[in-house]
Amino acid sequence: MIVELYGSDHENTYEYYYYYGMATLELGKIQGQVFNAPNEKEDNGEAQNSAAGTITNEKGEGDGENSEKEDGEESGDEEDDDTMKLAWEVLENARCIAMAKIEALKAERSGVSVIEEWQLKLADVLVVLGDHSVSDGKYDQALEDLEQALEIQKNVLPSNSRKIAQTYILMADACTSGMNYDEAINYFEKTKETLKSRSEHLENKLKEVGDQEQKLDMQDELKDLEEMVPLIDDKIADSKSSAEQMEKTKEAIKAQFDGFAALMSQLPQSSEQKEANDISNLVRRPAKRPVEETETTAEEKKKTKAEEEEGTSEL
């Protein structure tokens, strides 16, 4: 309705695309978890499943059930892909609207506050796009979008903003999924620093606030932050453990390669060649050609013949 009223690229449709894209992304994540979840019936024992499969095949019913199951799994995967694709398209529309609006405001030389408002909207949709790329396994693209969002947030928001902490967490998750554990640890540490700074800020501000409702809100946020810090510590510990394990794996592979190379170096460079049998007697030699007559021999024969003819004529 909103799109039909204003048009697909109007600034008033940004909120619609943004929240619709977020909801669609979450739906795609849920579908992925459901369709990729292990089947409990399959975990009850291979022997039981094998026997059941034999019985159904003898009756001629098992193949149909298996076929229906495979068709259901394929349709589930396709539905998951379609949902994630739709989420990306909707969020990309929101990103384009925000970028176009920012360019228009700059061209109009509008106030800084209005431009910053739309810059934060652009950062918000970039964060969700980064989350989408992490879920889709496109970690480089995720980091690219999240870095753009982080740059905007640092320029506009206070350094202890929870939005900045959220962006750091997503960047750390992207690095963890891409097995870049050192960078993941770095981003988790920055997340922790941001959350601690936020807690200190709220504690100091809590002493000055007189409104009871506002105090309760700040106390609730402080409680959330206190619960989040240990979780970040666990993620840091997991990343360090994964980094150490990966390093050990690299060393083990290198040791195996070095051992193989050392073994190969001990082998003879070339195998002993057997002496070839003398087969010279089997080689056919060309027959000797008669010596060609030289010019001198031909002249002598010619002279002898002339003398013989002369003697005959005298007789």
Residue-range domain boundaries for the chain: 1-37+76-110, 137-250
> What is the rounded distance in angstroms from the CA atom of residue 143 to the CA atom of residue 133?
9
Mind listing the pLDDT tens digit of every residue in the chain (315 residues)?
667 777 677 898 999 999 999 999 999 999 887 766 555 444 555 544 544 444 444 444 445 555 555 555 555 556 668 899 999 999 999 999 999 999 999 999 888 999 999 999 999 999 999 999 999 999 999 999 999 999 999 999 999 999 999 999 999 999 999 999 999 999 999 999 999 999 999 999 888 888 888 889 999 999 999 999 999 999 999 999 999 988 888 888 988 887 777 777 777 765 444 454 555 555 566 555 555 545 556 666 666 666 666 655 554
Query: 294 is written with which tokens?
Result: 């030289």
Among 94, 87, 93, CA closest to 25: 87
What CATH topology corresponds to 137-250?
1.25.40
pTM of the complete model: 0.69
